[in-house]
């Protein structure tokens, strides 16, 4: 994350621009070191067992994302705020070679990263499961063995935000998630009987209609185009198409377990009547950014809305649910959400794979923390894999009945 925002370019001298930020810094709650020297910046990810150099290069553009506040630095990126405190020097581990395919080392780094960053909390069997996984490693150079060990360790958490990207089709084609439930397969879900089906946004958006009721199914919130602005344009166009032609709408978030808060609030903007603070992201007692939504200039959608949720609803999709759940004309239907309402941080494992770790608390203006707390539907309607295999969907059927 920090590495990405430092890859900006600017016309000013990088040395002059970097001068106010010279020194070595450690983040509050994000597992990041930043070293700024002579116009260059180096970024490291760390835990108690490792230090990984993830970016090194020019500090041009650094003033666009960093500010000095007393003796701290404040990094702002897409609404997320990271506080950095000065330290004397980087730990010796940061000068060591981090890269290795050794499975034992990869598992150790993944486990330590989860133990130090993961929110809400690891399950009661975590310690015993970690010991079992580590003792079961035999061929530590086998990438498939590494993958199996990590998924055995992480899978029982059942958190869709816990993700693993091996970047190796021979091991796993795509991104593995610890999600569970009938909508966690990764393929776009198209309910039976949906007319005028359009699958867009790189398979992330499914639209159509059941008579006068529009349907918007989101497999994620974001990544619908090659850049962030393009992604938002694709999503906005699909919202325009459905909301502009439907008397009522079903918003299906049962498979939405990844994405960004900005896309979630773009969806919410179509329904809210006024600007509002949805929640504050927290790392410990420190605010790490606010999630706000601003209504569109055309005003809120006038029809009734049923929002379908379930255990696969996580991250920014839960932010979206919190933003619109209490609005007039909006009904929540389905099953409880995952209770993991923040998009994960990406962390680099020693073998080059990426680990997604939900690491923040999310607190609504009433002071309630939603990290580890599922959002319950008003009307409980379970949908199982057996239902989908039989080409039935109790959730959609109940939504249509409710909309009349």
Q: Where are the domains of the chain?
A: 2-95, 103-177, 195-403
Phi, psi of 372 (to 5 degrees): 85, 5
pLDDT of residue 187: 79
Alpha-helical segments (H) within 93-172: 103-117, 126-135, 143-154
What order do you get walking across the sheet with 23-27 strand by strand? Answer: 50-58, 40-47, 32-37, 23-27, 80-87, 72-77, 66-69
pTM of the model: 0.90
CATH dotted code for 2-95: 2.40.128
Question: Cα separation of 250 and 245, whole Å?
Answer: 13
Residues 6 or more apart from 2 whose CB is under 8 A from it? 27, 32, 34, 43, 55, 75, 77, 82
| 3-40 b/e (C-beta count within 10 Å ≥ 16 → b) | bebbeeeeeeebeebbeebeebbbbbbbbbbbbbeebe
Q: Are 205 and 192 contacting, i.e. CB atoms less than 8 angstroms apart?
A: no
Residues 6 or more apart from 285 whose CB is under 8 A from it? none
Residues 6 or more apart from 194 whose CB is under 8 A from it? 206, 208, 209, 210, 215
> Which of 340, 344, 343 has its CA nearest to residue 374?
340
Question: Cα separation of 241 and 252, whole Å?
Answer: 16
CATH dotted code for 195-403: 3.90.226.10
**Tokens read off for 67:** 């500010």
pLDDT of residue 11: 39
Residue 204 burial class via C-beta count within 10 angstroms: exposed 0-12, middle 13-18, buried 19 and up: buried
**Tokens read off for 104:** 């034992």
Mean pLDDT per block of 10 residues along the chain (404 residues) reads 47 69 93 92 95 91 88 84 95 95 95 95 96 89 92 95 92 88 82 96 95 96 91 96 97 93 96 97 91 95 97 95 97 96 92 95 96 95 94 97 94
Q: How many CB atoms lie within 10 A of CB 170?
A: 9
Three-state DSSP state, 256: coil
pLDDT of residue 7: 46
Residues 6 or more apart from 175 whose CB is under 8 A from it? 163, 164, 165, 186, 258, 356
Same fold: 2-95 with 195-403? no
Phi, psi of 312 (to 5 degrees): -85, 0
> Which of 263, 202, 256 has its CA nearest to residue 228?
263
Q: Are 304 and 250 contacting, i.e. CB atoms less than 8 angstroms apart?
A: no
Three-state DSSP state, 129: helix
Question: Cα separation of 73 and 59, whole Å?
Answer: 15
The residue behind tokens 């009661």 is: 124
pLDDT of residue 13: 62
Instruction: Show the CA angle centred on residue 219, arms to residues 213 and 157, nearest 5°.
Output: 130
The torsion of the CA quartet 144, 146, 147, 152, rounded to 10 degrees, works out to: 120
Question: Cα separation of 254 and 399, whole Å?
Answer: 13
Cis peptide before 26 (omega within 30 of 0): no
pLDDT of residue 185: 66
């Amino acid at each position: 994350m920090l590495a990405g925002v430092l890859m900006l370019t600017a016309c000013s001298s990088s040395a002059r621009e970097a001068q106010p930020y010279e020194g070595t810094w450690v983040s509050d709650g994000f597992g990041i070191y930043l070293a700024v020297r002579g116009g260059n910046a180096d970024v490291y990810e760390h835990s108690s067992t490792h230090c990984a150099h993830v970016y090194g290069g020019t500090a041009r553009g650094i003033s666009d994302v960093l500010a000095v506040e007393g003796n701290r630095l404040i990094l702002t990126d897409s609404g997320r705020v990271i506080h950095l405190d000065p330290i004397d020097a980087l730990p010796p581990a940061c000068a060591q070679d981090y890269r290795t395919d050794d499975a034992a080392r990869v598992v150790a780094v993944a486990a330590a990263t989860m133990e130090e960053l993961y929110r809400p909390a690891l399950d009661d069997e975590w310690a015993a499961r970690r010991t079992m996984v580590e003792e079961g490693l035999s061929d530590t150079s086998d990438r498939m063995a590494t993958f199996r060990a990590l998924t055995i360790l992480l899978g029982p958490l059942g958190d869709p935000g816990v993700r693993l990207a091996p970047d190796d089709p021979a091991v796993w084609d795509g991104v593995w998630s610890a999600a569970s439930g009938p909508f966690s397969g990764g393929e776009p879900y198209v309910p039976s009987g949906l007319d005028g089906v359009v699958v867009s946004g790189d398979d992330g958006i499914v639209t159509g209609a059941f008579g006068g009721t529009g349907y918007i199914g989101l497999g994620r919130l974001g990544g619908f185009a090659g850049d962030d602005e393009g992604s938002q344009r694709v999503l906005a166009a699909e919202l325009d198409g459905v909301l502009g032609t439907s008397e009522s709408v079903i918003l299906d978030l049962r498979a939405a377990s990844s994405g960004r808060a900005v896309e979630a609030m773009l969806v919410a903007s179509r329904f809210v009547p006024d600007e509002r603070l949805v929640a504050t992201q927290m790392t410990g007692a420190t605010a790490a950014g606010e999630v706000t939504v601003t209504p569109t200039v055309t005003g809120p959608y006038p029809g009734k809305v049923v929002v379908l949720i379930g255990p696969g609803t996580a991250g920014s999709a839960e932010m979206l649910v919190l933003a619109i759940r209490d609005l007039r004309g909006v009904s929540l239907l389905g099953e409880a959400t995952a209770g993991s309402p923040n998009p994960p941080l990406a962390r680099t494992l020693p073998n080059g794979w990426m680990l997604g770790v939900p690491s923040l608390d999310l607190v609504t203006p009433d002071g309630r923390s939603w990290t580890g707390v599922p959002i319950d539907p008003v009307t409980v309607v379970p949908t199982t894999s057996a239902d989908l295999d039989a080409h039935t969907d109790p959730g959609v059927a109940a939504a249509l009945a409710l909309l009349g």
